[in-house]
Amino acid sequence: MTTVLQHAGPPLEKASAAIVMVHGRGASAASILSLYPNLESPTLAAIAPQAANHTWYPYSFLEPLEKNQPHLDRALATVGLVVDDLLAAGLPSERIAILGFSQGACLTLEFAARNPRRYGAILALTGGLIGPSGTPRNYPGNFAGTPIFIGTSDPDSHVPFARVEESRDVLAAMGAKVEVRRYPGMPHTINEDEIEACRALLQPLSAPR
């Protein structure tokens, strides 16, 4: 599988850590990378994969899992390949953060739940675990204290707050330290408070390794 990647920040061999940035539906790797300077973590190498046709899967994340196949499995594998390459390059998982917005946030959380380990941080800006209500959430493994931030508008046009709460509970039960921030009346976007929360979680990764 060929994955198109875009980069920002220092080369990996000179970076203190890495952040994988996952764009939303209809967006691009370049658009999510435009958020990188706002994170104020210039020692982190940023890597953003590009989804085919600018979408990771065709339907809502609340649809039955099989309806979004094989695109969903491909999308999860794409994020997995980026993380595996970072690990293979000698970067420990606790020096790897993953950030996603909207569809990219859903993909970020689902990937993390299916591949739990001690990450540097998981940052989901308006998203939740994938699948309809009642989807089994018996993910094996443990996050070993990984900090996870989920910010969301409420009501949101794509992500019900009940799914955010369910995701929080599932991830916390897997050993993550989860913080949810709810923004009543906020449009489907990213606000400065969310950026500040991301900066705070990324700051420890800025120290030399």
Q: Which CATH number covers residue 11?
A: 3.40.50.1820
Domain span at residue 33?
5-206
Confidence of residue 86 (pLDDT cuts 50, 70, 90): very high
Confidence of residue 207 (pLDDT cuts 50, 70, 90): confident
Res. 2: pLDDT tops 90:
no
CB 93 within 8 A of CB 87: yes
106-115 pLDDT tens trace: 999 999 999 9
- Give the mean model confidence (pLDDT) for residues 157-176: 97
Q: What is the pLDDT of residue 191?
A: 96
124-159 pLDDT tens trace: 999 999 999 999 999 999 999 999 999 999 899 999
Q: What is the pLDDT of residue 208?
A: 84
- Give the mean model confidence (pLDDT) for residues 1-29: 93
Q: How many domains does the chain have?
A: 1
Q: What is the pLDDT of residue 209?
A: 77
23-57 pLDDT tens trace: 999 999 999 999 999 999 999 999 999 999 999 99
Cα 130 off chain centre by = 13
Q: What is the pLDDT of residue 107?
A: 98
With the CA atoms of 184, 180, 15 and 111 taken in that order, what torsion angle do they form, in degrees rounded to the nearest 10?
-110
Res. 84: pLDDT tops 80:
yes
